[in-house]
Amino acid sequence: MVTTRYDLSRSELSELLEGEPHYRVDQVWDGLHAQHREPAELTNVPKALRNTIEELLPPALTPVREVKADNDKTIKQLWQLTDGHLVESVLMHYRDRSTVCVSSQAGCAMACTFCATGQVGFDRHLTTGEIVEQVVRAAQRSGERRVSNVVFMGMGEPLANFDQVWPAVERIHDDLGIGARKITLSTVGVVPGIERLTQQDLPVSLAVSLHSANDRIRNRIAPINRTYPLRKLAEALHSYRRAKNRRLSFEWAMMAGVNDSEHAARELATFARPFNAHVNLIPLNPTPGYSTPGTDPESIIWFQDVLDSLGVNATIRANRGADIDAACGQLRAEQQVALRGKPIRRKT
Ligand code: SAH
């Protein structure tokens, strides 16, 4: 694999630029990270060094396409990686914040039936640099509006790629300057990953894509549940809570007749209450491989009221980017894109 611009740690960059004084390495590092600059824009370092950086550290992401929605407040960016795989990230502007949703893998192995990425299958893990660069690109694209939040809710399962994801989280925090609580890892329930997260110091936010608090149903819609059933998931989350004292949130994409009954709300309440967890109700977005319709809007509000009466705090997530396939679970990079005249095929 090619080493790309954000793949190196600070000390590796320092080795690469052997002979350069410390302060120069710092200028390059800060320019690339804190200031989101392109090598050519590092005007405080000599031109020869700018050229060296340009040559030795090519970008990981080549822009393929950009699509906007919601009055330009949602911007989906499609990228090609150096080996041809395609990934997406989504920049979302809100009144009080700007959030980038990043991918952690090309494809996903979790195979959740209702998720577009899960329907495509797994290509490969992203590297730390490929993840960090998505945030830098979003910050560049965002211009005057500072990217304040990062959510790992794009393609892939971040906790199945912990070795690359965690250094990316640290870099996003330490070098891009985004607060730990404003970085959210979202997992379908990869228990070993939650256990590793429990060992880390940085108090990031954790969201768990629960969708059902019933093993029989969850086994069907989120197959990882067959390996880590609800009881195991709950154990891992209890240890996490004890160690970190951080609020948890549960995501619940509302599928008609699957997880939207009063009984389902009671199961959810029983599961969520011990964690004092916040529940995010997500209107289901249609995907090519899942025909069950989403719960209608009135019934989502009813479900929220039932949860409320059971003492569980729930909000209904605004559905950003649904018309550009950038909403949750719809990030499915096109199978084929003609770029530089060459069709790029996914492995099957
Ligand atoms: N693998 C991680 C992160 C990516 S998914 C995870 O599962 O959490 C980000 C969120 O979108 C998850 O909560 C996921 O369950 C949800 N999602 C997936 N498909 C969806 C769909 N079709 N409609 C609404 N939400 C969906």
Quick one: tokens of 239?
Answer: 């240890």
Quick one: tokens of 141?
Answer: 């694209």
Q: What is the residue whose two structure tokens read 């679970």?
A: 329
pLDDT tens per residue across span 111-134: 999 999 999 999 999 999 999 999
Find the 164 Cα to ligand 1 centroid distance in Å.
20
Find the 223 Cα to ligand 1 centroid distance in Å.
14
Q: Is the CB of 169 under 6 A from ligand 1?
A: no
**Three state DSSP letters for the chain:** CCCCCCCCCHHHHHHHCCCCCHHHHHHHHHHHCCCCCCHHHCCCCCHHHHHHHHHHCCCCCEEEEEEEECCCCEEEEEEECCCCCEEEEEEEECCCCEEEECCCEEECCCCCCCCHHHHHCEEEECCHHHHHHHHHHHHHHHCCCCCCEEEECCCCCHHHHHHHHHHHHHHHHHCCCCCHHHEEEEECCCHHHHHHHHHCCCCCEEEEECCCCCHHHHHHHCHHHHCCCHHHHHHHHHHHHHHHCCCEEEEEEEECCCCCCHHHHHHHHHHHHHHCCEEEEEECCCECCECCCECCHHHHHHHHHHHHHCCCCEEECCCCCHHHCCCCCCCCCCCCCEECCEECCCCC
User: What does the alpha-carbon distance between residue 129 and residue 165 come to, in Å, rounded to a whole number?
Assistant: 10
Q: Is the CB of 107 under 6 A from ligand 1?
A: no
Query: Torsion angle, CA of 297/300/305/309, rounded to 10 degrees?
Result: 170
Q: Which of 330, 64, 114 is nearest to 217 (CA)?
A: 114
Ligand 1 atom showing the smallest separation from residue 154 Cα: 4
Find the 3 Cα to ligand 1 centroid distance in Å.
30
Find the 99 Cα to ligand 1 centroid distance in Å.
16
Q: Is the CB of 153 under 6 A from ligand 1?
A: yes
**Does residue 88 have an active-site annotation?**
yes
pLDDT tens per residue across span 210-259: 999 999 999 999 999 999 999 999 999 999 999 998 889 999 999 999 99
Residue ID of nearest Cα to ligand 1 atom 17: 329
Q: Which of 49-58, 105-114, 241-250 has the lowest mean pLDDT?
A: 241-250
Q: Is the CB of 74 under 6 A from ligand 1?
A: no
Ligand 1 atom showing the smallest separation from residue 188 Cα: 7
Q: Is the CB of 115 under 6 A from ligand 1?
A: yes
pLDDT at 318: 83
Q: Mean pLDDT in the chain?
A: 93
Ligand 1 atom showing the smallest separation from residue 114 Cα: 22
Quick one: tokens of 115?
Answer: 């998720």
The identity of residue 52, as a single letter, is T
Q: How confident is the model at residue 346 (pLDDT cuts 50, 70, 90)?
A: very low
For residue 190, is pLDDT > 60? yes
Residue ID of nearest Cα to ligand 1 atom 1: 157
For residue 86, is pLDDT > 50? yes
Q: Is the CB of 184 under 6 A from ligand 1?
A: no
Quick one: tokens of 279?
Answer: 């529940």
pTM as predicted: 0.94
Domain ranges of the chain: 10-56, 62-339
| Per-residue exposure over 77-86, b if at least 16 CB sit within 10 Å of its own CB, e if not | bbbbbbebbb
The identity of residue 339, as a single letter, is L
Find the 329 Cα to ligand 1 centroid distance in Å.
5
For residue 140, is pLDDT > 70? yes
Q: Is the CB of 155 under 6 A from ligand 1?
A: no
Q: Are 316 and 295 in contact (CB under 8 A)?
A: no
Angle at which helix 162-174 crosses helix 191-199, to 10 degrees, equals: 40
- Average pLDDT value for residue range 180-209: 97
**Does residue 20 have an active-site annotation?**
no
Q: Classify domain 62-339 at the CATH class level.
A: alpha beta
pLDDT tens per residue across span 144-174: 999 999 999 999 999 999 999 999 999 999 9
pLDDT tens per residue across span 13-40: 999 999 999 999 999 999 999 999 999 9
Burial class (CB in 10 A: 0-12, 13-18, 19+), 102: buried
